Amino acid sequence: MKSKIENQKSEMDKAVHPPCGGCCTRLSGFGVSIGSNTILKDINLHVHCGELTAIIGPNGAGKTTLLRAMIGEIPHRGELHFVHSDGSSFGKPRIGYVPQKLDIDKTSPVSVLDLFSSLNSKFPLWLGHVPADRRSSIEMLKMVEAEEYIDMKLSQLSCGQMQRVMLALALSPTPDLLLLDEPIAGVDRTGIEVFYRIVSRMRHEFDLSIFLISHDISDVANFADRMLLLNRSIVCDGTPAHVLSSPETKQIFGVDFSSAGAGSKNEKPFVERHNCPTCGNCIGHDSDNPFDGFDKLTTSKLRAGRSQRTDGRRQQ
């Protein structure tokens, strides 16, 4: 008997979009208001497959609100669409989400396997675990190098271990867009390096678009292709080197981060520049924009990545 996870993958195979030729996730006129208080306004951008976009900004800038609105947890204005390279809309993207933290009762006996089974099994947890659920859960955890946590209690996990467990859950079914809300908060240096290594591998293997909120600006500058400075609206958008050396960043934070951006490996984005027929002159494609987006790339890497991901799913 198939587990719920296996059934989800089977259903997902039927909905897989074609191999990537420059697909993107587009936000148009995105905004959030609570009563008369405007939290976010005029968010217009798109993120291409395989691109890691870091979101930075002061406290209260609306960073977490943006992610929560994207997953539908908060009412919002505007639209969120996944768009094919030919300009046709695929509808809303599949989204994986890792929140800042998961509050766990320290006295709870719930294990990692219990968590996965409760979310993915068609049977009540009190009936016990079926072998198929255990196998599926282990395979999910292997993606994030966390299979050894399968029988550990959630209350025993460190911050870094918990984030990897949550990441495994967010990657099933494989999303088009992965949202990470301060995933390394409270994680030690070794855990940070492991987490970024895993995320980097995931986006290469699955051609994921990733939004990552971080207050650790120096670290994230070394991994991001693109950076957004958010303060209720997009204040600055570009490579980490551009954003961190901008006067807007210095004005908001009162700190000169230019050395953090200028020395990063991502002065040139991982997602090389290419024609994008899906979105015209939106943010990131205007020739006057310092990001000067996506005007010269052959998309063979992205197309191969998306095709490999699609073929892999269909063989499951």
* Digit-coded pLDDT (tens) for 129-167: 778 888 999 999 999 999 999 999 999 999 899 999 999
Taking 70 as the threshold, does the pLDDT of residue 239 lie above it?
yes
Confidence category of residue 248, pLDDT binned at 50, 70, 90: very high
Closest CA to 50 of 171, 240, 167, 206: 206
**Could you tell me which residues are beta bridge partners of residue 209?**
177
Q: Is the dihedral of CA 9, 14, 18, 19 positive or negative?
A: positive
Considering the chain, what percentage of its residues have pLDDT values greater than 90?
Answer: 42
Q: What distance in Å separates the CA atoms of residue 47 and residue 125, rounded to the nearest whole number?
A: 39
Domain ranges of the chain: 4-102+111-315
Task: Please compute, for residue 302, the number of CA atoms within 13 A of its CA located in the half-sphere on the CB side.
Answer: 25
Q: What distance in Å separates the CA atoms of residue 266 and residue 194, rounded to the nearest whole number?
A: 19
Angle at 187 between CA 185 and CA 191, to 5 degrees: 135
Answer yes or no: are the C-beta atoms of 38 and 202 closer than 8 Å: no
197-218 pLDDT, tens digit per residue, is: 999 888 888 888 999 999 989 8
**Could you tell me which residues are beta bridge partners of residue 80?**
27
Q: What distance in Å separates the CA atoms of residue 85 and residue 24, rounded to the nearest whole number?
A: 8
Q: Are strands 77-83 and 89-91 parallel, antiparallel or unpaired?
A: antiparallel
Model-level pTM? 0.77
Q: Check: CATH 3.90.1150.10 for 4-102+111-315?
A: no
Q: What distance in Å separates the CA atoms of residue 279 and residue 22, rounded to the nearest whole number?
A: 10
86: number of Cβ within 10 Å: 11
